[in-house]
Every structure is written in structure tokens, then in C-alpha cells.
Chains A and B, each alone.
Chain A
Amino acid sequence: DTEVTQTPKHLVMGMTNKKSLKCEQHMGHRAMYWYKQKAKKPPELMFVYSYEKLSINESVPSRFSPECPNSSLLNLHLHALQPEDSALYLCASSQAGTGGLSGANVLTFGAGSRLTVL
């Protein structure tokens, strides 16, 4: 299995809702990532988990809460979001975490979850 699977593919939520995005990989990768991508822009790093521990938080607002239940799963909990948070949220994984060998840090991306906040 060489895929990163993200669910749901599309999500529409109000500003008072609580929802979660889910990500799963079975490649034995030990690092997992959340990225946010606006239309026609490059992905922007949000969080990195390395060996199931949060290693990077790119000053993301607390209305986004990541969780890594085990080495294969990564969640992003969403609460009290704003319309400007509407974007494509990408999950990725790599063999190694930050500071690892170059080849081991090559990221494999999922197809993304398209989030619309009303």
C-alpha cells in the first residue's frame, strides 16, 4: 500500500460546528503532516508529527487541533472556524521525521479534504 487516504473528501461546516478530518497511511512512515492549500497556491505547512509526537506547529490558531492516535493515523479537529479557513487540507507522510536522511523525508501526499466554512 503506497497511499495516504484522507476522509472526508469534501466537508461543509458552519462557524459553530465541530468536525474532524482524518488521514491514514499503511506505508510504515513515522512522520505525518498537515498542510493547508489555497487555490493556485503552494501547500503551507501546519503541523508535523514525528514518531507520534508533535514536532512542529507553524503557529497555527488553536481552532485547529491535531491528534496522532497511532503511527498510521492523523486527525485534524476543527472548531469555531472562520470562512477564511476554507481551503484544501492535505495530509502527507514520510519515512522519517524532521532531521532525518534526505530520501527518507520525501513526502507522499493524500488527495486532500476540501473544506468550506460558511
Chain B
Amino acid sequence: GQQLNQSPQSMFIQEGEDVSMNCTSSSIFNTWLWYKQEPGEGPVLLIALYKAGELTSNGRLTAQFGITRKDSFLNISASIPSDVGIYFCAGLRNTGKLIFGQGTTLQVKP
């Protein structure tokens, strides 16, 4: 079935470092979403991208919708301990179905 390749699978970084993760697909998506999930909680939307080439920021987070509509990346600048969690990319097809990446587990060492 439809899959998104999300990388890296996990990251263990020092507080203050920048983080980059990305998702790629063999198919085109109309919308790219980035969610963060903390233990015991549901995914929380971080950034939504609606147009190819779009670059959007939310505080220390920046995400881009790839020009080919087949990829997206998320950057986190100056990481802090509360950035810990699992980050999921998700692509939205024109059928309305949301396809998730496998997730990137982020750990931040104070």
C-alpha cells in the first residue's frame, strides 16, 4: 500500500543543536502535515503545508513542501528538552485519506 519514507528513524542530540528530518514518497500529495506525539498523548499538529514549494515556520520549527509534491522536510532549531517525542509526517491525498510516515523519535540531552 501507500507508504511514506521518513528519516531518520531516531535521533539523539544535544540541547541547542538543530534537527532535520524528512519524508519522501513515490506519489504526489496535495497537503503535507507534520505532527508531534508525546507519550500518552495523541498526535498534535505542528505545521500544515498546502502548496508545492511552500516554506512555513512555527516558532523554532520550519517545514517545506517539496516542489515535486513528493517530499517534505521539518527543521527544529536550537532544540530544547521539551522537543522530545515522536514526529510524524503525513501526506493527504485528494481522496481525503491521510498517509503517515513511520515516525522520527527525537531525544534531547540537556
Choose one: B41, B48, B103; the contact of A112 (CB below 8 Å): B41
Please indicate the chain A residues that have their CB under 8 angstroms from the CB of B95 in the complex: 98-99
- Min CB–CB distance B4 → chain A (angstroms): 9
Q: How many A-B residue pairs have CB under 8 A?
A: 64
Interface size grouping (class) on chain B: 20 to 34
Interface size grouping (class) on chain A: 20 to 34
Q: When the two chains form their complex, are residues A45 and B41 in contact, meaning their CB atoms are under 8 A apart?
A: no
- Min CB–CB distance A50 → chain B (angstroms): 8
Q: Does A107 contact B (CB under 8 A)?
A: yes
Given known contacts A42-B88, A111-B40, is B98 in contact with A99 (CB within 8 Å)? no
Interface positions, chain A 80-118, Cβ under 8 Å from B, are 90, 92, 96-100, 102-103, 105-112, 114
- 8 tightest A-B contacts by CB? A98-B96, A42-B100, A109-B42, A102-B31, A102-B30, A111-B42, A109-B43, A112-B42
